[in-house]
Amino acid sequence: MSSNVDKVFAGSIPGLYEQYLVPLIFAPYAEDLAARVTARTPSRVLEIAAGTGVVTRALAARLPESTAIVATDLNPGMLETAAQVGTARPVQWRQADAMQLPFADAEFDIVVCQFGVMFFPDKRHAFAEARRVLRAGGAFVFNVWDRIEDNEFADVVTISLASFFPGDPPRFLARTPHGHHDRATIQRDLRGAGFGSPGRIDTVAFRSTAPTARHPAIAYCQGTPLRSEIEARDAARLGDATDFAAAALARRFGAGPVDGKMQAHVVVVER
């Protein structure tokens, strides 16, 4: 499976992502990032890889209207969903590639990114772009998922699908969302991008909860590019694969409500 497919959030994925995945795993970390950004009292904030806008909404709720928020994503479908959900006050939505940001040097006080770094094909180059658009003293604030074994729902789904497709296991979750968790690698790439310090990395754990075991199964199997991997193996079996993952989650966590550990690294580095 091409890694290019890992970055495609199109079709029904954005809506399912917003409905199932955002409350399951993204909302607590969005509030965490928004609090870190707000504490720096910025006047201009750029969000990259904004997805369906969970961090954007948290920023808009916390920051005064005098603070400009520009939220970008590579995938138009994600931005369309974000704009439809809306924010507490106006923000600017703009399609943009984090590898080639369409902004001037030193234009922002903060660049923020929630769980997008793992999708960048050249992390060091993307970090250099974030640094370029930051003013002196500004900060790049982002998070990445820790290893998949410390994220229980994702781990169970991945293991279950390896049984469902034993000849060619779908590895999207381990390969991409949970594939950039090494702290030393992150800090090396930040230094390679021109940041003068390796920054601060906090490892933050939350509990992931859902009303039923089927919710995380739908979230991962149908609301992420894992869906493309499943359909590439057998498009007619997406529903069966989702059911299989749901059954595995129910065996591990009960039918519902379900509760599992999730863990991520939060990075803050100043220009």
Digit-coded pLDDT (tens) for 22-38: 999 999 999 999 999 99
The pLDDT value recorded for residue 226 is 96
Please, what is the average pLDDT of the chain? 95
Domain ranges of the chain: 3-270
- Length of the chain, please? 271
Region 59-71: mean pLDDT is 98
Side-chain-facing half-sphere of 191: CA atoms under 13 Å: 9
- For residues 9 and 123, the model is more confident at 123
pLDDT over 70 at 4, yes or no: no
Q: Out of 3-12, 24-33, 172-181, pick the least confident.
A: 3-12
- Reading the block at residue 116, the tokens are 């997008």
* Short-list 38, 32, 29, CA closest to 60: 38
In the chain, DSSP assigns E strands to 44-47, 68-73, 92-95, 108-114, 134-145, 200-210, 258-270
pLDDT for position 166:
97
DSSP bridge partners of 200: 268
Element counts in the chain: helices (H) and strands (E)? 11, 7
The pLDDT-based confidence of 1 (bands split at 50, 70, 90) is very low
Note the pLDDT tens digit of each residue in 39-61. Answer: 999 999 999 999 999 999 999 99
Residue 2 pLDDT greater than 90, yes or no:
no
Dist CA 165 CA 108 (whole Å): 46
Assigned CATH class of 3-270: alpha beta
Distance of alpha carbon 29 from alpha carbon 25, whole angstroms:
8
What's the whole-number mean pLDDT along residues 104-119? 98
Residue 171 φ then ψ, to 5°: -120, 20
CA distance 108 to 84: 25
